[in-house]
Structure 1
Amino acid sequence: MSDTMRAVTYERYGDPEVLSVTEMPRPKVGPGEILVRVRSASVNPVDWKIMAGGLDAMMDAIFPVVPGWDVAGVVEEVGIDAPEFAAGDEVIAYARKDVVHGGTFAEFVTVPVRCAARRPASASWNEAAGLPLAGLTAYQVLTRLGVEKGSTVLVHGASGGVGRMGVQIARDLGARVIGTASEKNHDMLRELGAEPVTYGDGLADRVKELAPEGVDVVADFVGGVVDVTTAVLAEGGRHGSIADPDVLKAGGQWMWVRPDADDLAHLSQMVDDGRLRVDVAETFPFEKARDAFDLSREGHTSGKIVVVVSE
C-alpha cells in the first residue's frame, strides 16, 4: 500500500475557495484506533464553520487540515488494543478528534474506536455517512432532556439534517412532536410523524394552539428562538440548544454532540429496524468537495450532502 493518499485540504482559514485536493501522508494507526478506507463522507455546517476559523478559540488546528467528521467506510487496519474491529469490517463514525487536522474527506482516516460502530446493513454508503453527527446530535439532545413516552416535544428546525432525525427519534421514544419548518416541508414532517408549524412571526401562538398547556421539552437546532421557547414551555419543562449559548440565561442547556460508540450503534440498529431514515439531498464526487461545501453554506438543502470518496 502506498504511504500517501489523496485528501481534501486547506492551508489557512477561509471560505471553500481555500480547499484543494492534494497528496498527504497516509495516517499512522495509533493504539485504540482503526484505519478506515473512506467510501463516503458527509458535509456538516460545523465543517465550514471550522474552516472559517469559527472554533479557533476552542480547538487547535494543525495545517494542512483535512476537514470532515462524518464517515462511512471499510476497516483497512487495526491498531494495538482495538479488539472491537477487524480488517474488512464496514463501519461508520463521528470521527472528531482533540485537534483539527486529520478529517474524513480523504482516502483514509484514523478513527478512535470510541467513535465508531458497525454500518447499518440496510443503508447505502451515502446514507450511512450522513448518520453519525446529525443522528448523535439529535439523540443525545433528546435523551439528555429526558424525552419519554407521553412527552410533548417542540423541535426548532425540524426539516434540517439534525431536526428531521430529531423528529424520528423523539417519535421512537414515544413523544408527540411539533416541528417548525417552512410550509414546503410540512408534508415531509407529517410523513415523519410530526405536527408542523411555520416558523416566523407568531410562532409561539401557533405552538400554543397545538399545545395549550405548553410543551415538556424544546430541542433547538437553529438558534435565535429563546423567546419562543420560554413562551411555550410548560412549567417544569426542559430545553436545550446546539446553536445558541443564550439558552443558558433562560435556564436551558447549551449542548454539543459527543462521539459515543454505543449511541451510534443504537442509531445504526434503528436504521436497520426501519425506525430511522437518513435522507440524502445531494452527492458530489471527491474532486467536487468544494461545491459540496458551497451548497451546505447556502443552507437551503433538505437532507444530507455527501461526498463520494471511493466506489
Structure 2
Amino acid sequence: MFATRFERFGPPEVLSVGELPEPHAGPGEVRIRVRAAGVSPVDLAIRAGKSRSPIALPHIPGVDAAGVVDEAGPGAEVGDEVFGAVDVARLGGATAEFAVLAFWTPKPPSMPWEQAGAAASGIETATRALDLLDVRDGTTLLVDGASGGVGSLVVGLALARGARVLGTGGDLEFVESLGAIPVPYGPGLPTRVDGRVDAALDVAGQGSLPELVELTGEPSSVVTLADFSGPSHGVRVSTGALGGEPDGRHGLAAAARLFEEGRFRVPVEAVFTDAAAAHAAAERGPRRGKLVVRVSE
C-alpha cells in the first residue's frame, strides 16, 4: 500500500510517501480504506522522537482517521463509513491507504470526511476531561487554550452539555465563533474574568494552574491535559488509561449523535494533501481548530 512514513526521527521533512506492507485487522479491530487523517500534537511528538512510547521504524504518522471498512470487526461491516483512532505503538499510523482502527464509531452520513478524520482522539480526550470535571448544564467552565485542536472540541462538547464556557486564546474572534466567551490569553487571568468559575481545564500547559485554582477556589475543580506539574498544585493531570483513569471511550458515539442533531461540529482550520506540509503548519501554530490530511477521494 502507499503510505506517508518516516525512517528516522526529525522535522517534517523526514516524511515521504512510499510503499509499505498492508496492515490487517485483528480481534476487536476494523481495517479501513482511509479517506482523511488528522494531525495531532502526539503525531508531531512521535515524528520528532519525543514520544515515550516505543515506535518501530519506518513509522506511519497519524492517530485519527476516517474511512470505509474493508475488513470487518465487531459492530462494523464491509462498506460501513466510520471514524476512530489507531493504536500507533502496535499498528502504525493512519496517513496511509489502509489503517486498522482500535476504536471507532459510525460516521454520520452528513459529517464531512475531513471533520470525521480529525476527530477521534481529541473527542475522547475532551470527553474524559469534561467527565472528570463533572461539567453539566449550568456549569461555568474556563478552557485555557480554547482555540487549538483539542480546546476547540472541548468548547463544543461543553456547550452541548449546557455549560457556559469561557475560552482563552490568541485569536479571540475564533474563540467567540466557537460559542465561548473570549478571554485574552496569558498571565493575569483572574483580573480578566468576571463572575464565578466552577471548573477549569488547562489545555495549553503554559503555567496557568495557580491562577486557575484561584479562579475556581479548589484544586479539585481544575484538570490539566498538558502541565505535568499539576500534582504539586493539587491539580489532576488527565492522561487517559495510562494514567489509571477509566477508558470507556464513550465520547465518539455521543459526539456523532450531537453532530446529527446539529449541536456539535469539528472545527477544521485547513486540509492538506501533503502530510509534511500539514506537520509544518501544525508546528508553526497558533491553531484555529484541526488540521487534516486528505488521503483519498
TM-score bucket (shorter structure): over 0.9
Gaps of 5+ in 2: 242-246
The equivalent residue for 1:69 is 63
The equivalent residue for 1:45 is 41
How far apart, CA to CA, are the structure 2 residues paired with 1:43 and 1:12?
A: 19
Q: Is 1:223 matched up with 2:205?
A: yes
The equivalent residue for 2:84 is 93
What letter is aligned with 2:79?
A: G
Higher mean C-alpha displacement, 130-139 vs 69-78? 130-139
**Number of matched residues?**
291
The equivalent residue for 2:6 is 10
Q: Percent of aligned positions with the same letter in both sequences?
A: 39
Instruction: Name which of 92, 96, 111 aligns with 1:106.
Output: 96
Indicate the SS of the match to 1:196. Answer: strand
Question: 1:237 deviation in Å?
Answer: 5.0
Instruction: Name which of 198, 206, 229 aligns with 1:246.
Output: 229
How far apart, CA to CA, are the structure 2 residues paired with 1:289 and 1:168?
A: 26
The equivalent residue for 2:255 is 267
1:64 and 1:101 in contact (8 A); partners too: no
2:143 and 2:168 in contact (8 A); partners too: yes
What letter is aligned with 1:148?
A: R
How far apart, CA to CA, are the structure 2 residues paired with 1:248 and 1:236?
A: 9
TM-score (norm 1): 0.88
Gaps of 5+ in 1: none
Q: Is 1:33 matched up with 2:15?
A: no
Question: 1:100 deviation in Å?
Answer: 5.6
1:117 and 1:262 in contact (8 A); partners too: no
Question: 1:191 deviation in Å?
Answer: 3.6
Give RMSD over aligned pairs.
1.7
Q: Structure 1 residues 281 and 193, CA, compared in 2 at 3 Å: closer, same or farther? A: closer
Q: Which one has the bigger strand percentage?
A: 1
What letter is aligned with 1:197?
A: V
2:69 and 2:82 in contact (8 A); partners too: yes
The equivalent residue for 2:112 is 124
Question: 1:235 deviation in Å?
Answer: 4.1
2:205 and 2:225 in contact (8 A); partners too: yes
Question: 1:187 deviation in Å?
Answer: 3.3
How far apart, CA to CA, are the structure 2 residues paired with 1:83 and 1:156?
A: 38
- 1:23-62 alpha-carbon deviations (Å, 9 max, x no partner): 001112212221110000011111011111211xx31111
Runs (4+) off by over 6 Å: none
Q: Is 1:190 matched up with 2:176?
A: yes
Q: Structure 1 residues 263 and 121, CA, compared in 2 at 3 Å: closer, same or farther? A: same
- 1:226-260 alpha-carbon deviations (Å, 9 max, x no partner): 12212212247511111111112111111124675
